[in-house]
Structure 1
């Protein structure tokens, strides 16, 4: 099963039961061009890592946009900058720094983040997010931090992707003015298998 299909079946069911209006306003304000993006909370290098990871988690396909098309990295950066308290910001940075350190571990001293290849990011995601819970029992403190960071990044990316205007109106089932409610109706009949855009 391809990553995009897996997200449609599993990942897009993730999300928050309630969404703060301020978070949605941050999401809709993320309209910068990806090539010119300058993070407000993260460093340039940290932003590059986040950008590369979410691009692999939610890649663009022929039929749907990817995370970069709907400014997911910008949203994650702005969310941390505008919504997190100092403790949450500190924990988020600690997780991102652990991920960065793992990516450049064993590289020469002159190695830079921009020199990382897609394979480096893909290997990191596979080694942590494809593991079984029992395999994570023996993780050391740093490995637990990396897993928590990658898992949290994936959750934020999927949530931001789902709630972006483009995905909400063009990919998911969308009805801005709902009509009558039809209970016990098969989802394939109701929306051709798509989840609803407006869930809150």
Structure 2
């Protein structure tokens, strides 16, 4: 089995039943401090849209960093570039392009991707990620692409965020040298309600 198939099969199909060490190594490699990010697979405009969507899904709060601070968009682009086959790469790119069509349906000749307002991104996420099952049944082809694409990005973003080094060590309950496994304990008493980090 080649590396690409191994990455897809070991948790990256978004079941994440197991944590792929290769995926974690990709995630930890996304620690660039470069101010202007140049995506590996996506265009600059597509990457800009991806960043804005992910920033709204996992924003910075007083209690935790945001997804942008742990390079989640960079991870998703790099993951698609390194581990997706051509068919899946094409599908991912089409999803982003369909987001753009929905965000800016009446683009003028002098349109810039930065013209899209935060409120427009918010409306997109609310329309699809808060939609009811009966509403989804009436989605047309493009709407279905947007819904499935946003759902996939949200799932990848949450997984990457929770498995990033910063979040694993500073936000979640972290013990670099774990002791005995205690199965039935009160989470409030042991970690103050925080989930355990997967960082090692």
TM over 0.5, shorter chain: yes
Where does the alignment leave 5 or more consecutive residues of structure 1 unmatched? 1-13
Q: Is the 8 A contact 2:92 2:149 kept in 1?
A: yes
Shift, 1:107, TM fit: 3.5
- Report Cα offsets for 1:153-200 as digits up to 9, x if no partner: 111111110000000000001112210121211211221111111189
Match of 1:148 in 2: 148
What is aligned with 2:42?
42
Aligned to 1:97: 97
CA distance in 2, matches of 1:147, 1:130: 10
The total of aligned residue pairs comes to: 187
Contact kept? 2:41, 2:78, Cα under 8 Å = yes
Per the alignment, residue 122 of structure 1 pairs with 122
Secondary structure class of the residue paired with 2:55: helix
Measure the CA separation in 2 of the matches of 1:63 and 1:28: 22
Question: Which residue of structure 2 aligns with residue 137 of structure 1?
Answer: 137
Q: Supply the distance in 1 between the matched residues of 2:159 and 2:31 (Cα, whole angstroms).
A: 17
Cα distance, 1:15 vs. partner?
6.7
TM-aligned CA deviation for residue 67 of structure 1: 0.6
In the alignment, the residues of structure 2 paired with residue 123 and residue 38 of structure 1 have an alpha-carbon distance, to the nearest angstrom, of 27
Residue 109 of structure 1 aligns to a residue whose secondary structure is coil
- How far, CA to CA, are the matches of 1:180 and 1:32 in structure 2? 36
Whether the 8 Å contact between 2:163 and 2:199 is mirrored in structure 1 is: no
For 2:17, the equivalent position in structure 1 comes to 17
TM-score, normalised via structure 1 length: 0.88
Task: Quote the Cα distance in structure 1 between the aligned partners of 2:171 and 2:68.
Answer: 16
Q: Following superposition, which runs of at least 4 residues in structure 1 exceed 6 angstroms of deviation?
A: none
